[in-house]
Chain A
Amino acid sequence: MKQPMPSRMGFLALAICAALVGSCVKKPQVPPPTEAVPPPQPAAQPPAPAPRDTTPVPTPPRLSSSDFEPAFFDFDSYTLRADARQALDHDAKLLRDNADAGVVIEGHCDERGTAEYNQALGEKRAQAARDYLVAAGIPASRFEVVSYGKERPFDPGHDESAWQKNRRAHILLK
């Protein structure tokens, strides 16, 4: 549409269009009506504050990534140990109680092994955790799986104590 619309709406659309495309536009054009921005509604008044309730209502604490328990693994293994299943049972309950929470399951490895193999191993660990949670009734669509291999150790040490901390599947809120 080439002809300017003499209405207030047209000028508004023109201004917005010019602001959006900036200096690229040599000749101001009014976009076709379908693209025109509707006139802004008058700003809504903030609702009047509700009368203060003197008794505090206990609000459920917001779910945080640190509420999830990591699942730990044996060396070069992606089999869920008993302690890992216990941790994931805890995590499954959190996910059931917070049905809108989407999460990333990160897979991690200790520093032994090649970078490439550990990326695959971390993927298998994160998948094992995800599969357990899906079997516990959490929809698969809530999970994203990312393997960091040995690239993001939680403990930079070079002994079994550090390595055990680093062999994990670890849940983070999106």
Chain B
Amino acid sequence: MRAPALACLLLLLGAAAPGFAQQRDVRIDISSGQGRRIRVHCESLAAAGDKNAHETSVQADEVLAGDLETSAVFTVTRSWASGEQPFDVQAVVGGKWTANGNQIKLSGEVRDFPARRPILVKDYRGAARDWRSIVHQFADDIVLQFTGEPGVAQTRIAFVTQSGREKELCVMDVDGAGLTQLTRDRSIALSPAWSPDGSLVLFTSYRGGHGPQIFVNAAAGGRAYLVSGRPGLNTSASYSPDGRQVVCTLSQDGNPEIYLLDARGGSPRRLTDNRAIDTSPCWSPTGQEIAFTSDRSGNPQVYVMDREGGNVRRLTYEVDYTDSPAWSPKGDRIALVSRTGSGFDIYVCRADGTGARPVVTGKSNENPRWSPDGRHLVFASNRDGDYALYVTDLDDRPPRKLSTGGRTVLSPAWSPRPASTRSAFNLNPGQ
């Protein structure tokens, strides 16, 4: 059984849900239980095994504490940081780190405090080269233990890097490690979007020399395959939540309109029919509705339609000139951008368009995309100079800059959690 202190905490967490928060502060109202963080104290992992064990365990300590801190669930103190004592903490996190040659074993432990009764005790094993992933698994399990839902430490971010006139597609771990450049086309790559199983990244590229076309690349690397290269625009593509369809913008019939394709890019079916611009489609998490941008009323606004293209309605009247919709993974909220004098602010509203509130303002803040747990938004911003990636936890804390090695980066997309199953898609064109 869990300690009474923990049960108390879980009650508190539940109390931070919409109804309670609404009376107090509308900013917390639609950010699903944010604003109260659980205090935990990280103790150094006890190193054992070969001569490298101590060195890697020290790195593992930092990665684990960083994962817990950035989860937005915990406030973390560190036993190895001077002056950080386990004062008023709910739990202590620690365990044993055993390194033997190519193998790592993490015996993770979370105990309540001060009684130190076990809350979570679990072993993780893997290849030494995957040590970060082993730590991330433990961090995600700790978040699961305290919130009922795993964390997102094992997720990745796709984005584009800009160098002069060229933009290339990259992916990296959500903590900035493992940055991999997927394209080397010396062309323009834009608008990455993950497949629901996290194995593939759809993107727009001019690499074919015939204007913007839609390609797909395995997130692990390899070559890109053409998905749609029809005359005119082929842009803004994303997989449906079941992975069976792609929604995108085409202009093959003479005007930028939204189309559904099958997962390989065939059988186009037009959803919008309007002389205006229709673009930037985004799925609701059930796949039943699609939010998109249209200038049918003069300037860009976000609209919502059902997946057949019917029942079109403007999302919100509370903000003007809106674009870049992103539907939250639980379906309750939509993030979008609204134009300002200097660029864009990021807003979040309820899925019915009410309750719009600014969540990131100042300079330009673009392309908001949800984390799979809906606790964070990643976005591109020039708030500190060149465009870089930032994460907001949708609370009063300032956005956190993601490390991308000083590159100018844009257009982030947050991966789903890792799937244990292999991709349902086959990139081999010979089959």
Contacts and interface: CB of A to CB of B under 8 A. Distances in A.
A146 B251 CA distance: 11
A146 B234 CA distance: 11
Contacts of B410: 115
B300 A113 contact: yes
A73 B300 CA distance: 17
Nearest to A119: B235
Contact of A112 (B206, B295, B339): B339
- Interface of B, helix, strand, loop or mixed by DSSP: strand
A116 B254 contact: no
Contacts of B190: 115-116, 119, 151
A169 B256 CA distance: 16
A16 B414 CA distance: 54
Interface in A122-163: 123-124, 127, 145-149, 151-152
Contacts of B249: 116, 119-120
Given A120-B277, A151-B188, A114 B212 contact: no
Contacts of B236: 116, 119
Interface size class of A (residues with CB under 8 A): 20 to 34
Contact of A120 (B211, B279, B337): B279
A146 B191 contact: no
Contact of A117 (B188, B204, B254, B323): B323
Interface in A100-126: 112-117, 119-121, 123-124
A146 B235 CA distance: 12
A85 B328 CA distance: 45
Nearest to B162: A151
Contacts of A114: 280, 293, 323-324, 337, 344, 366-367
A69 interface: no
A89 interface: no
Contact of B277 (A112, A121, A152): A121
A55 B183 CA distance: 57
A91 interface: no
A152 B321 CA distance: 24
Interface residues of B, number: 37
Interface in B16-75: none
B147 interface: no
B210 interface: yes
B381 interface: no
Nearest to B411: A115
A120 B250 CA distance: 9
B232 interface: yes
Contacts of A124: 255-256, 277
Contacts of A145: 211, 232
A149 B232 CA distance: 12
Nearest to A76: B299
A115 B206 CA distance: 13
A22 B404 CA distance: 46
User: Which of the listed residues A76, A113, A114, A120 has the most CB atoms from chain B within 10 Å of its own CB?
Assistant: A120
Interface in B278-301: 278-280, 293, 295, 299-300
B324 A120 contact: no
A121 B235 CA distance: 12
B410 to A, nearest CB: 7
Interface string B200-229: 000010100011100000000000000000
Contacts of A120: 233, 235, 249, 251, 256, 277-279
23 contacts: A114-B293, A115-B190, A115-B410, A116-B293, A117-B277, A117-B300, A119-B212, A119-B256, A120-B233, A120-B235, A120-B279, A121-B277, A123-B256, A124-B255, A124-B256, A127-B251, A145-B232, A146-B210, A147-B232, A147-B233, A151-B165, A151-B190, A152-B165
Interface of A: 76, 112-117, 119-121, 123-124, 127, 145-149, 151-152
Given A120-B256, A146-B210, 5 more contacts: A119-B190, A120-B249, A123-B256, A151-B167, A151-B206
